[in-house]
Amino acid sequence: MKLPISPSNPSRRNSGVVLIWSVFAAILILGSTFVTATLSRTANLRAQLAVKRGGAEALSHAAVEAAMESIRTHLRRNQEPPVTGTFTVDGEVATYTIQREAAPLNQRTVGGLQQFGSIFRVVGTGTVGDITKSTRRMARASVIPVFQFAIYYENDLEFFNPAPWEIKGRIHCNSDIYVRVQAPLTFDTNYLHCAGSFYGRAPHATWAPIAGVEPTIRRWVADPFDPSAWADWSALPIVETYAASGVTTSGGLDTDFTGADLNGDGDFTDANEYASFLAGTVGLFGPTGGGPESTLMTSEHGVLPLAPPEAEDFSPFTPTVGGDFVYDPVADAYTPVTPGSGTHSMGSYHKEAGLVIRTLPDGTWSARDETGADLTAAIASAVTSGSIYDTRQAADGPGSLQQLELDLGALAASGHFPANGLIYMVGEGAGTGTDAKAFTLKNGATLPSGLTVVTPNSIYLQGDYNTNSPKPASLIADAANLLSNAWDNSKTPGTLPTATETTYNVSIIAGDTPSTSSGTNGGPHNLPRRHEDWTGVNEYLNGSIVCPFRSQYATADFVLGGNYYFPPDRFWAFDERNNDPTTLPPFTPMTVEVDAMVTWSAKP
């Protein structure tokens, strides 16, 4: 039986409809919420996955860059890069592999440098959670022995008012070059390059002005060392050169000079008109008869920095994850621990040396060979402990440096002259001022074979060095000091010994101090420091002068005159044997360029 619906009560019918729609709406809302939640969870998972993928990819890229730096670091130390390595970012560890594709290829650059080119295959792998990404790269590395340069500077190179000087050999600076002289300065080379700017003025406007003369630069030839090569020269226009024609400049023909077009006709060919720096250098210092090359080139011409040796390369210990040593602050020394559990490793030169000499703050010393065998007693006749007075480090006051003298003649006679040609000397507890530790090499006129002496401290070279049948030789130090044949270590505060003629056949790597608004750092002609009155005395130096870093301990400012020193008559020459990679000093450091040829992502 059907139940009748009372026409007199329509609200019951309406409430039923409302209920149905309410239930339907609730179902829709619940369904929508479920779908929204499901979609939200999916989007969140996708977002998390994207973050992981992005993180893993970023890690793999970072690992490739770490591999590039590893290649650069090892090659400049003349070492083979490791085949594997790790890189950590915010606790995430990435790995890389390095594979050399072929043996280094000896190439000759347009400027005549002998460089070694290599191709490396690099793979970086990064993992975040369960996501792993891989980045691959083909990298090209070019290494150049640093002693192929007559002068090499990492920081600004300042030729400010030196005595008359003729420089034969390549000059490279990774920063700016400043040239302002009042005595003849001649560049006999096809390579006067800087990766910064070239200025014909003093580095600081506060320096006392000097009347200038035009330096002379050889026009570009393929091989300036070839005695049959054509030698043509041009003067570098200076402020006074242009001023005579009514043209005002800040430094003559230098980076800031944009040219002088006096009549505004768009060319520089009329009387008293001069081309801009870029065009002017090619016109003056390019090949006779024309050509795109130029002896003087800067970053405007496309010169790039050459990664130099760094002070860390010559340190006794370097920070290393998983090293074999830890630093003991109480003893102020590095002590061995279980291999792989330490914070430091031996520096490369410290590790490779055939003879290591170590001094302690109390003046005691010890020696070992490359195997770790103790040689202290065996070479005792060649070693003398004492002190040396350095007016510059003492600021013309009291206080001497702790010194160890090494008699190279006696060392050779002992039978322990290093067979691999590398001596490493380190003074523990070094500081600045008179706390800078010193090592003096004496009786070194005859070297049995090629020799490189390295120290993170100051080195003093006493008397004729490597003059009898010269061998490939170099010094690497925080500061290099040249003492004449007359030096007897009797210098005291307030005195200035007189030098006598001395010859040094050696290439030098040493730190310097920066120039300031109140004075010069001495420039490259004073990179080797002196402590005598050399007035009117000849000094012969044959080799290379390299300054890749600032001094860390011998940080006193350069001072000329007084009780400090008076300059010699310099007769310096580039050792042309350094042009031949087979006759370089042992363990010669390298300058390095490493760049990416192609980079791509791939599945690991």
Higher pLDDT, 274 or 218: 218
pLDDT higher than threshold 50 for residue 29: no
Does residue 30 carry a pLDDT above 80? no
Q: What percent of the chain has pLDDT over 70?
A: 92
Q: Which of the four pLDDT bands, split at 50, 70 and 90, describes residue 165?
A: very high
Among all chains, which residue has been given the structure tokens 């291999």?
Answer: 339
Query: Does 526 have pLDDT greater than 60?
Result: yes
Check residue 108 and give its pLDDT.
83
Q: Are residues 299 and 432 both part of a single domain? A: no
Q: Is the pTM of this model over 0.95?
A: no
Residues 464 and 552 in one domain: yes
Is residue 94 predicted with pLDDT exceeding 50? yes
Q: Is the pLDDT of residue 10 over 50?
A: no
At residue 42, the pLDDT reads 67
pLDDT digits (tens, 9 = 90+) for 529-549: 999 999 999 999 999 999 999
Q: What is the pLDDT of residues 200-211, one digit of tens each?
A: 999 999 999 999
Structure token pair of residue 266: 């768009």
Task: Look at residues 307, 332, 358 and tell me which one is the last residue of a structural domain.
Answer: 307
Nearest in space to 165 (alpha carbons), one of 191, 189, 192, 186: 186
Domain final residue, candidates 246, 281, 307: 307
**All residues at 6 or more sequence positions from 322 whose CB lies less than 8 Å from its CB, including other chains:** 340, 341, 342
Residues 64 and 140 in one domain: yes
Domain residues for 96?
A: 53-146+591-604
Give the separation between CA 521 and CA 511, rounded to whole angstroms. 11
pLDDT surpassing 50 at residue 161: yes
* pLDDT (average), residues 131-160: 96
Neighbour-count burial for 249-286, b at 16+ CB within 10 Å, e otherwise: bebbbbbebebbbeeeeeebeeeebbbbbbebbbebbb
Mean pLDDT for the chain overall:
90
d(CA 435, CA 457): 10
Residue 188 within any structural domain of the chain = yes
* pLDDT at 39 > cutoff 80: no
* 330 found inside a domain: yes
pLDDT digits (tens, 9 = 90+) for 101-132: 988 888 888 778 889 999 999 999 999 888 89
Does residue 568 sit in the same domain as residue 433? yes
Confidence of residue 262 (pLDDT cuts 50, 70, 90): confident
**Does residue 344 carry a pLDDT above 70?**
yes
pLDDT single digits (tens) 283-334: 999 999 888 999 999 999 999 999 888 888 899 999 888 899 999 888 778 8
Report the alpha-carbon distance of residue 397 to residue 559 in Å, rounded.
14
The span from the CA of 586 to the CA of 392, in Å, is 31
Q: Is 480 helix (H, G, I), strand (E, B) or coil?
A: strand
In this structure, are 89 and 135 located in the same domain? yes
**66 or 604, which is more confident:** 66
In a domain, residue 4? The reply is no
539 in the same domain as 431: yes
Question: Is 106 within a domain?
Answer: yes
Q: Is the dihedral of CA 247, 250, 252, 258 positive or negative?
A: negative
Region 3-18: mean pLDDT is 40
Residues 361 and 495 placed together within one structural domain of the fold: yes
What is the band of 604 on the pLDDT scale with cuts at 50, 70, 90?
low
Say yes or no to pLDDT of 196 above 90. Answer: yes
Lowest mean pLDDT among 48-52, 218-222, 417-421, 562-566: 48-52
Any domain includes 11: no
The pLDDT, as a whole number, for residue 277 is 96
Are residues 507 and 526 located together in one domain of the fold? yes
For position 5, what pLDDT does the model report? 35
pLDDT of res. 26: 43
The reply to whether 557 falls in a domain is: yes
Same domain, 459 and 476: yes
Residue 3 scores a pLDDT above 50: no
Within 8 A by CB and 6+ apart from 148, the residues are: 113, 114, 170, 544, 578, 579
How confident is the model at residue 423, as a pLDDT?
A: 99
CA separation, residue 349 to residues 133, 359, 390, 588 (Å): 37, 17, 27, 11
Q: Does residue 124 lie in a domain region?
A: yes
Task: Please report the pLDDT score of residue 27 as a whole number.
Answer: 38
Give the pLDDT mean for 366-382: 97
Same domain, 367 and 478: yes
pLDDT digits (tens, 9 = 90+) for 70-79: 999 999 888 8
Percent of the chain with pLDDT over 90: 77
Q: Average pLDDT of 349-367? A: 96
One domain, residues 286 and 355: no
What's residue 41's pLDDT? 63
Give the pLDDT score at 49.
Answer: 74
Q: Give long-range contacts, CB 8 A cutoff, 24+ apart: 45-50.
A: 49/131
Mean pLDDT computed over 181-191: 97
Q: Which pLDDT score is estimated for 40?
A: 63
Tokens of 81: 């890069």
Q: What share of the chain is helix, strand, coil (3-state, %, to 5)?
A: 20, 35, 45
Nearest to 129 by CA among 44, 38, 65, 50: 50
Residue 555: phi and psi, rounded to 5, are: -100, 5
Q: Domain count of the chain?
A: 4
My answer on whether 190 and 291 are in the same domain is yes
pLDDT for res 192:
98
Measured over the CA atoms of residue 46, residue 51, residue 52 and residue 57, the dihedral's sign is positive
Dump the DSSP string for 488-556: -S---TT--PBP--EEEE-EEEE-B---BTTB----GGGSSEE-SB-TT-EEEEEE-EEE-SB-SS--P
More reliable by pLDDT, 529 or 603: 529
Q: Do the domain assignments include residue 156?
A: no
pLDDT at residue 23 above 80?
no
pLDDT surpasses 60 at 143: yes
